[in-house]
Amino acid sequence: MTITAKANSLWEYANPRKFLATSERLLPFFWLASTTCLVVGLVWGFFFTPDDYKQGSTVKIIYLHVPSALMAINCWLMMLAASLIWLVRRHHVSALAARAAAPVGIVFTLVALVTGAIWGQPMWGSWWAWDPRLTSFLILFLFYLGYVALWEAIEDPDTAADLTSVLCLVGSVFAILSRYAVNFWNQGLHQGASVMRVAAVTGSDTEEKVSNIYFFPLMLCIVGFVLLFIALVLYRTCTEIRARRIKALLARERANA
Amino acid sequence: MIPDLGKYTETVLSAYGISIVLLVALVVLSVMRGRRVRTELKSVEQRMSRDG
């Protein structure tokens, strides 16, 4: 199959029936795999890793804080891709997928903010600091809330999809800032990347990186969060497609009455 | 059963407790809404096919 043919076959999933049928087949795998990875990763991290020499047992918060923060940003980037597809190709499923992902992003952002505050209190002596990364993350959270509110506020679904897509484009600045703020500005309490930094792995920099004792269960938790995100977005998109069909059927019924 | 978390016991347990409650609530609420919408769609489709 050529690349063009493969790309064209991808658009078949813009058909709601095809999307529903494929999702129904894939969902059991994603639910099972995400639960397994999360349970094994969290149990491994919580029960079978030692305390850190600097941070004590608070290092165990890393298994929730890092994956949730990572997925909070990636969720918005997924919504950005779906919004662009809606704006360019007008596929309803992509707009509904972006809508379905937003509450998942809200919860992941909230988990990252709460665990960050709880972790920060004993380590920094403060629950919160107006640090570039923390502030951009808080603004991202507010964008998530605004995005959901905008969907709810506008009755016509196509207009809502248009306006929320534009909001998503604007909010992407903060999604990117949340990830790279520590590289742009040196001030602030939040540390730079220490989990997946190529230079640290290859040995070309000497900055501290997460020890392998913590790295492997953390990777399992990250995979678990990614799979949970996929499962939730597929499931919730199916729900949005069905809800939209109900609206269309009821509108047709009213028109015929 | 729970490992010795030293002076940070409350800190670590509260982080895990809040996160797990939020994640479980998200899954449960998503599944509940999904089932409700699926049932509603079935009943609307049945009613419409019955009424022609």
pLDDT computed for residue A192 by the predictor: 63
Query: Which residue out of A34, A38, A46 would a mutagenesis test of the B interface target, given it has the greatest number of B Cβ atoms within 10 Å?
Result: A46
pLDDT computed for residue A58 by the predictor: 94
pLDDT computed for residue A112 by the predictor: 96
Average pLDDT, stretch A199-209?
A: 57
- Give the predicted TM-score (pTM) of the model: 0.90
Which residues in chain B are closer than 8 Å to A246, comparing Cβ atoms? 37, 40-41, 44
Which residues in chain A are closer than 8 Å to B38, comparing Cβ atoms? 239, 242
- pLDDT tens sequence across A16-41: 899 999 999 999 999 999 999 999 99
| DSSP letter, residue A56 | B
Average pLDDT, stretch A37-51?
A: 95
Identify which has the larger pLDDT, A213 or B21.
B21
A230 contact B CB<8A: no
Could you give the 3-state DSSP secondary structure of residue A52? Answer: strand
Query: Which residue out of B1, B7, B19 would a mutagenesis test of the A interface target, given it has the greatest number of A Cβ atoms within 10 Å?
Result: B19
Query: Which of A58, A232, A239 is closest, CB to CB, to B11?
Result: A58
CB atoms within 10 A of CB B44: 18
Query: Which of B8, B23, B44 is closest, CB to CB, to A107?
Result: B23
Cα gap A71→A60, rounded to integer Å: 18
Domain extents in chain A: 29-50+60-193+212-256
Cα gap A62→A68, rounded to integer Å: 10
CA end-to-end span of chain B: 62
Share of chain B above pLDDT 70, in %: 98
| DSSP letter, residue A50 | P
Q: How confident is the model at residue A133 (pLDDT cuts 50, 70, 90)?
A: confident
Exposure string for A141-154, b = 16+ CB within 10 A, e = fewer? bebbebbbebbeee
- pLDDT tens sequence across A75-89: 999 999 999 999 999
Could you give the 3-state DSSP secondary structure of residue B45? Answer: helix
- The ipTM, to two decimals, is 0.94
The helix/strand count (H/E) of chain A reads as: 8, 0
CB atoms within 10 A of CB A20: 18
Query: Minimal Cα–Cα distance from B16 to chain A, Å?
Result: 7
